[in-house]
Structure 1
Amino acid sequence: MMLMFALAAMCLIGVLIAAPYNGRLNIYLGLVATSTMLLPRVVVGSSHLDSFRVGITGSQPRVMTYTVGIIAILLISWTAGNRRLQVWPFLVLSFFLLTWALFVWANTPPLWAGVVHLLTAAGAWIAGGAIAHEVARRGTYGDRAVACWIAGIILIQTVISLLQFVGFPIFDANQLVVADDGIDGRVGGTLGHPSYIGKVCFLAAFFVLPLVASPDRVTRRVSMFAIGVSFIPLILSGGVLMLSPW
């Protein structure tokens, strides 16, 4: 637990240090990268078992670290004068979900957990639009910031995965998830279950793949570095993504 708080504090310091260089963009990217790819944890709600089920609705409504990050991005973007946020789809979805949850569907905790989860996804879509606006506005420096943040998170996950592989008890998956015969000898990075680190690294590498063709040399090299390094935790996780081709 202390290690998790220390890592979160380091990430926060990194965001604050990087913020002056690309303004809001580094704050946005730092919030997204750390809350989704590094420390997706439950802040309020749900059970201990649900704390490390990344991307899966729990048995109770919950607020995750990325939920807080999404809200922070929306508030920062709105207060900074960005009035082009596409909020209408969110309002329509909210009206539909709340109406059906109150008057049509069975009123149960898993139902409200799903409602919160879907509204979080809708909020993430709007926050993604705000981030894309900042990246496009800054041109080459925006692409470089995206590549650097993703490469940095993948590098942290790779170091932690290697430490787990050699037997160092850091973010031990057996202490974070229910006993599972399929996780012995596999690494999970900071995400708990080995299946999660494989998915995150695969998606991160896929996300920076277009930046390999960037006209900026730094962006190209950082993107290629991120893609290459992502294979280390991907392989060590021993997930279906590695076994499926065979």
Structure 2
Amino acid sequence: MAIAIERRFGFAAVALLIVLVGAAIFPRSLITLVAVPEATPYDIAPASLALQTQIVAFVLAAVVILIGRGRLKFAGALVVFAILLTGAMFTSWGGGTIPQWSGYFVLMGAVLAYGVGSAIGREVFSSSDLARFFLLVILAVLLLQFAVALLQLLGVSLPTGLVNSDRTLEQTVGRVSGTIGHPANLSKVTFVLMLLSLPFTAAGDRKIRRLAFVCVALAALLGGLTVSRANLVAMFVLLTAWILTFPGRARVGTRAVGAIGLVGATAVFAPLVLDRFEDDAEGGLRPLLLDAALRHLSNDVWIGTGPNAYVAVVGQSDAATASGYPVHNGFLLLTAELGWLLAALFFVPLAVLVGWGFRRLRRSSEFLHVPRVIVYATPGVAVIFLTGWGMISVLIIGLWMFALGFLGAARGGVSLTSVGDSELRHNTSRSYETDSAR
């Protein structure tokens, strides 16, 4: 099967399949390589050193890309980050503990994921056939997650190996988690898949456009079923802005259908989200966790605790953190663990991509409207990072960095035409034919 796919669509298609199966369907700890006591604190990665399917997937995808004579392109800041992080493991953190090495490999896997995403993105943005295959794979992932989610809503008992969790539906207040293990993580996966699909809703090719619309709609529905507050806010802001400014000749009809769908979804899911806000009006431990993080950073902003060691270190002096929860802020958590320099380097690709999106916003159609997607997604991404740490956790960080690399590939140019471009060419051609007939 892999050979047939490679012959028809190229190496990027095989690499894409590997990535989405490993990172968007079955992110798991496969084998524990070095075990530690169960009570060992951890945060962004497991305490034990384990083989993770998502990291294995990115390694295999990288091998496929290189064999196919593709090129892994890394942001310069990430290269420096990887070098300094490796050095810090042996210097700043004295050789590292097992949990720290677990966190180290998760972060290095995220760096690799960026390069894999960049390589696949260059190919997808250059081929209509591959773009259709790309969206079909995303659709298959979303349909699988949706099927599992429906079974969870119906109360069907599913194998722990499938759902990656022993939580019951009652423990997550009627929320679904698919195969990812927790509703918040599933909602992040669907948000990332929405980001990857959204530019193609503006493609000149009708088949690509329709596939992309289905992917975005299903991602929104699945995200709604998770009732994850920050992620739903991010989706709502992104889709509202996109619907209001959708490009192309059919923008009036598309906006109307999109607006009706969005209003309907809001009417269904808003009460559920409001109920969650009422149940957790004070934010639970979040204010206490934030205070602890700020106190720690006031004393140590340069070196940090080491990757995956925040709870272990800060928990020694703070009871809320000792309960097993890190600060619910991705920016602060990574800074507290790695120091401000390494954390800044890690977030440089995101900052560069956002800056590029704003600079190219008026020329967005030249890049399949990727700049527009990035700009519209920025407020929601900020909300997700400022209110939680899941985006830098072991289950999500690789897929997130893959998406950054993929969307960043559009900076090198996009061969696929957008709706506006294709219509302009169509109208120009029709005018030319009319003039010739005269």
TM-score, normalised to structure 2's length? 0.46
1:126-183 superposed Cα distances (whole Å, 9 cap, x missing partner): 111221232234x222222221111111111111111111122225699814689751
* Secondary structure at 1:176 match in 2: coil
CA distance in 2, matches of 1:154, 1:236: 13
| Alignment-derived partner of residue 72 in structure 1 | 60
| SS class of match (2:31) | strand
Give 1:177-192 correspondences, 5 Å limit.
177=166, 182-192=171-181
Aligned twin of 2:188: 199
* Structure 2 gap ranges (5+): 233-272, 278-438
2:3 and 2:151 map into 1 onto residues whose CA distance is 28
Give the equivalent residue in structure 1 for 2:129.
Answer: 141
Is this contact kept in 1: 2:177–2:183, CA < 8 A?
Answer: yes
2-side partners of 1:211 and 1:59: how far apart?
39
Contact 1:165–1:236 (8 Å) recurs in 2: no
Does 1:33 pair with 2:41?
no
The residue aligned with 1:8 is: none
What is the CA-CA distance between 1:110 and the residue it aligns to?
Answer: 2.1
Specify which of 24, 39, 63 is matched with residue 51 of structure 2: 63
| SS of the residue 1:44 aligns to | strand
* 2:83 aligned with 1:86: no
For 1:23 and 1:136, the matched residues in 2 are separated by: 13
> For 1:70 and 1:175, how far apart are their aligned partners in 2?
20
**Corresponding residue for 1:99?**
87
**Paired letter, 2:224:** I
Shift in Å at residue 111 of structure 1?
Answer: 1.7
Q: Which has the higher contact order (CA 8 A, sep 6+)?
A: 2
Q: Which of 139, 142, 145 is equivalent to 1:151?
A: 139
Q: Which of 106, 115, 119 is residue 126 of structure 1 equivalent to?
A: 115
- Listed as ranges, the gaps of 5+ residues in structure 1 are 1-12
Instruction: Work out the CA distance in 2 between the residues paired with 1:176 and 1:37.
Output: 15
Q: Is residue 155–residue 169 contact of structure 2 (8 Å, CA) maintained in 1?
A: no
Give, in whole Å, the separation in 1 of the partners of 2:31 and 2:75: 27
Alignment CA distance shift 1:178-1:166 (3 Å): closer
1:68-125 CA-to-partner distances (Å, cap 9, x unmatched) read 111112112222233x433684654333222211122142122212211111111111
Letter in 1 for 2:219: S
Contact 2:180 2:186 in 1 (8 A): yes
101-110 or 64-73: bigger deviation? 101-110
**Residue identity opposite 1:56 in structure 2:** I
- What RMSD in Å do the two structures reach over aligned CA positions? 3.1
Task: Please tell me whether Structure 1 or Structure 2 has the larger radius of gyration of its CA atoms.
Answer: 2
Q: Could you tell me which of 150, 153, 156 is aligned with 1:168?
A: 156
Q: Taking structure 1 as reference, are residues 239 and 85 closer, same or farther at Cα in structure 2, changes over 3 Å only?
A: closer
Change (3 A) 1:180 1:104: farther
Given that 2:132 and 2:207 are in contact with CA atoms closer than 8 Å, whether structure 1 keeps it comes out as yes
Q: Does structure 2 conserve the Cα–Cα contact (< 8 Å) formed by 1:198 and 1:237?
A: yes
Structure 2 vs 1, CA of residues 29 and 194 (structure 1 numbering), >3 Å: closer, same or farther? same
Whichever residue aligns with residue 115 of structure 1, its letter is: Y
Name which of structure 1's ranges 103-112 and 173-182 shifts more when overlaid on structure 2.
173-182
Indicate the percent of aligned positions where both proteins have the same amino acid.
23
Distance 1:88 1:222 in 2: 30
Equivalent in 197, 205, 223 of residue 216 of structure 1: 205
1:230, distance to aligned residue in structure 2 (A): 2.0
Evaluate the alpha carbon distance shift between residue 94 and residue 235 of structure 1 in structure 2; reply closer, same or farther with a 3 A threshold.
closer
Query: Are residues 157 and 79 of structure 1, via their aligned partners in 2, closer, same or farther at CA, if it must alter by over 3 Å?
Result: same
